[in-house]
Amino acid sequence: MSSHPSLKVPASRHKLCRRCHSYFDSADNAGRANGCNYHPQPYVNRYHPEGERYYAAVDENPKHKGWSGSCWECCGAESKDAPGCVWGTHISYDEP
C-alpha cells in the first residue's frame, strides 16, 4: 500500500548543532544572527611548565596558585564554560 504524498509528516527542520550543542532551524542557518560560537579545538589538561616543582610547592609559591592546568587548546580560555572563540554556521550531526 502506498501512502499519499500529502499525508506524509514533514521532517523536522530543528537539528542539534555538533559545534555549540544547541538546536537550530536548518532552513534558517545563514547569517551572523543564526550561527554559533564554538571552540574548534578540544578542552585539554596541561602539565604545569615547571613540572614536579609545581605540584610539590603549590602552597609555598604564590605564583603557582592560579594555574588551573586545563584550558581550551584553541584560545587558552581556562573555563570549561567559556564562550566559543570562533563563529560559524551550525553543523548538524547528520552532515559530513
pLDDT digits (tens, 9 = 90+) for 29-66: 766 677 889 999 999 887 655 555 555 555 665 555 55
Residue 66 lies in a domain: yes
Cell of 32: 551572523
Q: Could you give the CA distance from residue 92 to residue 20 in angstroms, rounded to a whole number?
A: 10
Q: Is 81 part of any domain? A: yes
Instruction: Look up residue 82 and give its three cell numbers.
Output: 567559556
**Does 3 reside within a domain?**
no
Cell of 93: 550531526
Does 4 fall in a domain? no
**In a domain? residue 51:** yes
Q: Is the full-model pTM beyond 0.85?
A: no
Q: What is the CA radius of gyration of the chain?
A: 22
Q: How many domains, in total, are found in the chain?
A: 1
Structural domain includes residue 5 = no
For 55, the domain range is 14-88
On whether residue 55 sits in a domain, the answer given is: yes
For residues 86 and 40, is the Cβ–Cβ distance under 8 A?
Answer: yes
12's enclosing H/E stretch is none
Dist. CA 43–CA 78, nearest whole Å: 9
Averaged pLDDT score across all residues of the chain: 74
73 pLDDT higher than 50: yes
Q: Per the domain annotation, does 36 fall within a domain?
A: yes
- What's the CA angle centered on 20, arms 43 and 68, to 5 degrees? 25
